[in-house]
Amino acid sequence: FVLGLLFVWMKSSKISFYGLLGMSGVFLLLAILKFIGSGYQVAQLVELTLQFSSPALLALALQSEEQERLYAYFRLAIALTFLGHGWYALGFIYGQPPHFQEMVLNSLGFLGMKAEWTSEFLIAAGIMDMLVVIAMFLPKYVKAGALYAAIWGFLTSAARIASYVRFGPDFWVQLSQY
């Protein structure tokens, strides 16, 4: 994150452009390793699209004057990320990941969420993910889809922290992991 900020600060420099591309390369390598570690689940690689493409897209945004093409790349990355996430939430091909159900229960348990409801909640979330995928390609709905994607992305990130991070001696390690 700090390295990325440094590269953005140096936005007029070739170092900035190639540094951000290099960061995307590292994140792509990590995504490939997670893909291999998942047993070659295509949804895993697709779900990580936004993570590995964001620094490269930022590099292009800092250098390019072609905003429409850049927006199309961002919409594609968002759509692919939500497609992979939706496949998992719907249980498509691989079944619903147990850690998805655990996160739902841990982060929404205080609202009365019951274990029996987590599967249905995830199916609803998966349907919403698929609607985001569609919205990214329909000009009339792109802004609404992007707004929902940003809010849902924040909430799912917060759910990971709420579910797995506990105060204690390893708090910072847990926080950096999730």
Question: What CA–CA distances, in Å, run from 172 to 13, 29, 176?
Answer: 33, 25, 6
Q: pTM score, two decimals?
A: 0.85
Asked whether 135 and 145 are in contact (CB, 8 A), the reply is yes
- The per-residue DSSP string of 31-68 comes to HHHHHHHTTS-HHHHHHTHHHHHHHHHHHHHHH---HH
Cα–Cα dist 160/163, whole Å: 5
Cβ-contact 46, 83 below 8 angstroms: yes
Cα distance between residue 19 and residue 45, in whole Å: 23
Instruction: List the chain pLDDT tens, one digit each, 178 residues.
Output: 666 677 777 766 788 888 889 999 999 999 999 999 999 999 999 999 999 999 999 888 888 778 888 999 999 999 999 999 999 999 988 889 888 888 888 888 777 778 888 899 999 999 999 999 999 999 999 999 999 999 999 988 888 887 777 788 887 777 776 6
